[in-house]
Amino acid sequence: MIKSSSGIRKADVINRRMFIIGAAKIIVFAAIVARLFSLQINENKKYLTLSDKNRIREWKLPPTRGNIVDYFGNIIAGNLKVYQLHIIPEQVENFNYLLVRLKNLLNLSEKKIARINKLKAELKPWDSIIVSENLTWSQFVKINNYLYDLVGAKPVMTISRNYPFKDVYTHVLGYVSQPSEQEILNNQTVQERFVPGMKIGKLGLEKKLENYLIGTNAIQRYEVNAYGKRINQLEHQKGKQGAKIRLTVDTEIQKTCGELLSDKAGSISVMDIYTGDIIAMYSSPSYDPNSFLFGISKDEWQLIRNNPLKPLINKTLSGLYSPGSTIKPIVALSALENNVVDTKFKVKCTGKIELYGQTFHCWKEKGHGWVSLNNAMKQSCDTYFYEVARLLGVDRLNITAEKFGLGKKVLGDYFDNEKKGLFPNTKWKKNNLGRGWVLGETLITGIGQGYIQSTPLQLCMMTAQIANGGYAIKPKIIVDDKPISLEDAKALMQEDILEGFGKKLFKDEKNIKIIQEAMFSSTNERFGTSYRSRIDDPKYQFAGKTGTAQVKRISKRERELDLELEQIPYKDRDHALYVAYGPYANPRYALSIIVEHGGSGSKAAAPIAKKLFKLIIDRHDLRNKQPNFEEISI
């Protein structure tokens, strides 16, 4: 009886456990079914998307940069097809054999071979190794001819930046190269569009206009396997090329500037005196920016870097020079505007003046005799301008100089490397040097020496504003959407309504005319310092002012020796300067020229202007007829 009761209890326990297990199975099964339903029905789209993301991958290609063209539409920074050689390691049967064959065909160095092996170890087997970014056509053909024996090698045709005029525009455009990590982090647009092999602007307009030029990426979509290897291309989405940017510069004039400064260090700037268009802006010597596209060689870099004429410096914008006698028109104008002198005011030049025991020399040892303003400007008499500066004072001179653009950036919106220069006054010296101004410093400022520092482009702008009758202009190097006509420019100047453009820089219009006539005399009348460089034909006739800027103090012995230019060490020679505008009868263009260590402005700089003005005037009609076309406005 006891055994029977025990058996019943065991059966109950088993049945209960079976029920619990069965119920658990049902619950688990129901949960699985519910989850499957959720995955396949409710969350179908979500997991389908995730599945596609694992199956389909996107590859961004380097964006195509926009073209930069000159005023006439000539491409000065464009793109061209380049030939490259890639290796896909997973397709290579014998990697060492392939490298030996490529080394013989392309003359690869041991260093290059080591770099390829290093990349092979770092990359995935299906990632490409770039052996050469810029094969010549003969190398590309040779590779294709031996392709049957180069398993895993892949000749590729792609797009790269190109500067067809080589060194002509280097200091305007800059160049492109591989970005550094910091450059990528500093630019959000570059971050978003960066892919290996992409190049960005490093200097000049290429850098400043990066976000306009960069373009958008082309996108390739591939189906990949579980390891991420591409197995099938699904789509190719073409990228959009960057914006086309049109400059105000004339390539023919720019090229001629380079030829005229060949083998010299210096700068030439040419500007429209009404619209502010930069017609030419050349710094010499220059270098070929194409050298930086695929990595410049160490030897070539050292040649550029160690060149004593300093080709890396944009002398037009970054070079700071004493303006020498090219500042005299501003000194005379300031004196006239402040009623310090008039056209009848005369000074007797004996070749030097004494002031508190210090001697201030005129460039002409025996002096010019009695000279008035026009004659002093024509012969560039230093003694006359010593006296004018003494009567005027540096503070009043500073106000006039700054009105005409000295001591301020001219194209600061476009170039990070432009310097503002310096036109001193008494407050500047006290704040920066901690000492008071002395009278002798006023005298040498009056002939463009001392603390004063200017860029060639500032001198060009100064001259342009004298030439247009004394009205402010706003220089630019990028063509506007709606270029201003000559008639509109003149009208706006007369109305005096625009901030920074058309503003009167004078008190009395006749004072500007006096300065213009004096500059005409300096070039076109006998005894004028640039008389030998004159052009008699009214079509090309121009007015100008020479300048000679000392780079070191001349000792008494050196003055007595009166050495010829060739007898003076190159670095001790004076800088030669010249500013001018023309045609005189109906002015339209201004220029500034500086030849570093060229000696005197009359011998080294003014003759260049004579050659250049003919071309500038001859190109004028072509420029006026040039129709507008699509460009970007910055």
- Under DSSP, is residue 79 helix (H, G, I), strand (E, B) or coil? strand
pLDDT-wise least confident of 108-122, 332-346, 381-395, 510-524: 108-122
Q: Which two tokens stand for residue 134?
A: 């810029």
- Averaged over 321-347, what is the pLDDT? 96
Q: Tens digit of pLDDT for each residue in 240-286?
A: 999 999 999 999 999 999 999 999 999 999 999 999 999 999 999 99
Per-residue pLDDT at 433: 95
The CATH number corresponding to 59-246 among 3.40.50.620, 3.40.50.300, 3.90.1310.10, 3.30.499.10 equals 3.90.1310.10
Please give the residue that has the higher pLDDT: either 464 or 50.
464
Q: Which residues contact 22 (CB under 8 A, 6 or more apart)?
A: none
Please give the residue that has the higher pLDDT: either 473 or 87.
473
346 touches 370 (CB < 8 A): yes
Other C-beta atoms lying within 10 Å of the C-beta of residue 370 = 12
pLDDT of 87 higher than 50: yes
Q: Which two tokens stand for residue 303?
A: 């040649």
Per-residue pLDDT at 237: 78
Q: Tens digit of pLDDT for each residue in 201-219?
A: 999 999 999 999 998 888 8
Q: What angle do CA 252, 256, 260 make, to 5 degrees?
A: 175
Per-residue pLDDT at 498: 47
Alpha carbon distance 115, 122 (integer Å): 11
* Every domain of the chain and the residues it spans: 2-42, 59-246, 251-286+311-625
- Residue carrying structure tokens 């509109």: 488
CB neighbour burial string for 309-331, b if at least 16 within 10 angstroms, e if fewer: ebbebbbbbbbebbbbbbbbbbb
Please give the residue that has the higher pLDDT: either 154 or 488.
154
For all residues of the chain together, what is the average pLDDT?
Answer: 86
Homologous superfamily (CATH) of 251-286+311-625 is: DD-peptidase/beta-lactamase superfamily (3.40.710.10)
Task: Identify the band that residue 130 occupies on the pLDDT scale cut at 50, 70 and 90.
Answer: confident
Please give the residue that has the higher pLDDT: either 322 or 6.
322
Per-residue pLDDT at 564: 65
Alpha carbon distance 101, 116 (integer Å): 14
Q: Tens digit of pLDDT for each residue in 362-389?
A: 989 899 999 999 999 999 999 999 999 9
